[in-house]
Amino acid sequence: MTSIGPSTPTAKELADGRAHRDAALAFRPYWWEAAPRPQISDDELPSETDVAIVGSGFTGLSAALTLLRAGRGATVLERNEPGYGASTRNGGQIGSGNQKFRVKRLIELRGREKAEALLREGVRMLDYIEHLIATEAIDCHFNRCGRFRGAIRPEHYEAMARDMEDLRRLAGVESFMVPKAEQHKEIGTDIFEGGSVLPNDASLHPGLYHAGLSKRIEEAGGKILGRSGVSAIRPMNKGFAVTTARGEIRARNVIIATNGYTDGLVPELTRRIVPIGSGLIATGEIPEAVFSALMPTGRMYGNTNRVFYYFRAAPGDQRRVIWGGRQGRLASPTSLRAYRHLARDMLAVFPALATVPITHAWDGLIGYTYDEIPHLGRTGSGLHYAVGYCGTGVSRATYFGHKIALQVIGDKSGKTAFDDLTFPSFPVRPVAKRAVPVVETWYRVRDALNK
């Protein structure tokens, strides 16, 4: 008798909790198919380096590349395999401006002048990543495809229209509104009450972008060492002694680039960053006739809820949907239960995907800050850091990595509008961490009640 193995679950089976427990689904980022995990180098840890960088995501790699291009040395130290963190797990959506706040709110919090400076720098971050990818010739499907943001309620549409106008006036960000009656030109769903389009927003393949940065660093003589978790950093005469899983390395400077994976290494940062889980699923290939009606303009997509979901097509001619949102609570990241809600949200927007298989599901950690603003600077003991992108970090981590490296070498162009911001700590960080699911449930209730 032929035995039939577990099959790949359909979106509907996953959403309904009917998928077989042993269903054939890969619990790893879809991006790792085109950018397989790198071999971990057996190279010995050098006894010294110019700048030691802790963490091998976009922040760490961008910092390393800037240092190397400036003729300085860099060694990237990574606890797991290179690129283990959010940088190869994200949705690859790249925005302009500061999407965490409405412009009005940012002005209330920071004043008009500062708000304008922060927003304009947000636009420069998008330009910078485009410039870097072009000058370093990194083949990673970078595309200024634009972003559509669907209004969940009519009031959201009105508020978004006002905000887009403020963003244009203050930071020169181009956008246009799409009323519900014309929405099908942008997206094949009736669930939204119209939406906004930021035509200059962009997308990329995070795995290929990370692999491209890594290649350029190695070509320039930099080292990226996996399985080199840093457990202690001790100030010493003219620099630091860094204790890693491969031994000790001395460095003139150290950059901490651990974002959502920040542990107890630097207590000053541990108190200021809360890791928040986020999940994604990828569908199998979708028949052309169905696929072409879903996202006819091929943009990035999201909604206006506090508990946000976002989605896109996979780059190239794959005809797959990549769908992201919050992490499933109280479920292991390698259990189907952790991704049910993502399939449910996806089918609410695109019911035609019910019979499409789900081939990949994965999670990652976002680094959240108390004021929802990323921070870079120097700790009391002289360590440089760049962290806290609050879930929008593809361009921001790249840019902050670049800027913090310039600050390390004392280059005046390392100055940013973020330099003089106080970096608040969470009042009681262990409680803040445990409170995340409660806060999220509260946001869901408020979304439902439209409060």
Binding residues (CB under 6 A) for ligand FAD: these are 54-60, 77-80, 84-87, 89-94, 229-230, 257-261, 263, 265, 278, 280, 324, 364-366, 389, 391-394, 397
* Minimum gap (Å) between residue 301 Cβ and ligand FAD: 11
* Minimum gap (Å) between residue 276 Cβ and ligand FAD: 8
Question: Which residue, 107 or 253, is less far from ligand FAD as judged by CB?
Answer: 253
Return the closest-CA partner of residue 52 out of 234, 177, 199, 316.
234
Q: Name the residue whose CB lies closest to ligand FAD.
A: 393
Question: Which residue, 78 or 166, is less far from ligand FAD as judged by CB?
Answer: 78
Instruction: Determine the Cα–Cα distance for residues 204 and 314; give it in Å rounded to an integer.
Output: 9
* Minimum gap (Å) between residue 98 Cβ and ligand FAD: 12
Question: Which residue, 187 or 387, is less far from ligand FAD as judged by CB?
Answer: 387
* Minimum gap (Å) between residue 285 Cβ and ligand FAD: 22
Paired strand residues for 322: 282, 312
Question: Which residue, 8 or 392, is less far from ligand FAD as judged by CB?
Answer: 392
In 262-403, beta strands by DSSP E:
274-283, 300-303, 310-313, 321-326, 358-368, 375-378, 384-387
Residue type (1 letter), 133: I
* Minimum gap (Å) between residue 450 Cβ and ligand FAD: 26
Return the closest-CA partner of residue 205 out of 353, 64, 29.
29
* Minimum gap (Å) between residue 357 Cβ and ligand FAD: 21
Return the closest-CA partner of residue 400 out of 25, 60, 33, 40.
60
- For 162-205, give the DSSP string: HHHHHHHHHH----EEE-GGGGGGT-S-SSSS-EEEETT-EE--
* Minimum gap (Å) between residue 283 Cβ and ligand FAD: 16
Instruction: Determine the Cα–Cα distance for residues 20 and 9; give it in Å rounded to an integer.
Output: 7
Question: Which residue, 58 or 350, is less far from ligand FAD as judged by CB?
Answer: 58
Question: Which residue, 106 or 269, is less far from ligand FAD as judged by CB?
Answer: 269
Long-range contacts of 232-240 (CB under 8 A, 24+ apart): 232/265, 233/265, 233/266, 233/381, 233/383, 235/381, 235/382, 240/52, 240/382, 240/383
Q: Is the dihedral of CA 46, 48, 54, 58 positive or negative?
A: negative
Pairing of the two strands 74-77 and 48-54: parallel
Question: Which residue, 292 or 332, is less far from ligand FAD as judged by CB?
Answer: 332
Looking up tokens 């700048």 gives 51
* Minimum gap (Å) between residue 197 Cβ and ligand FAD: 17
Question: Which residue, 150 or 391, is less far from ligand FAD as judged by CB?
Answer: 391
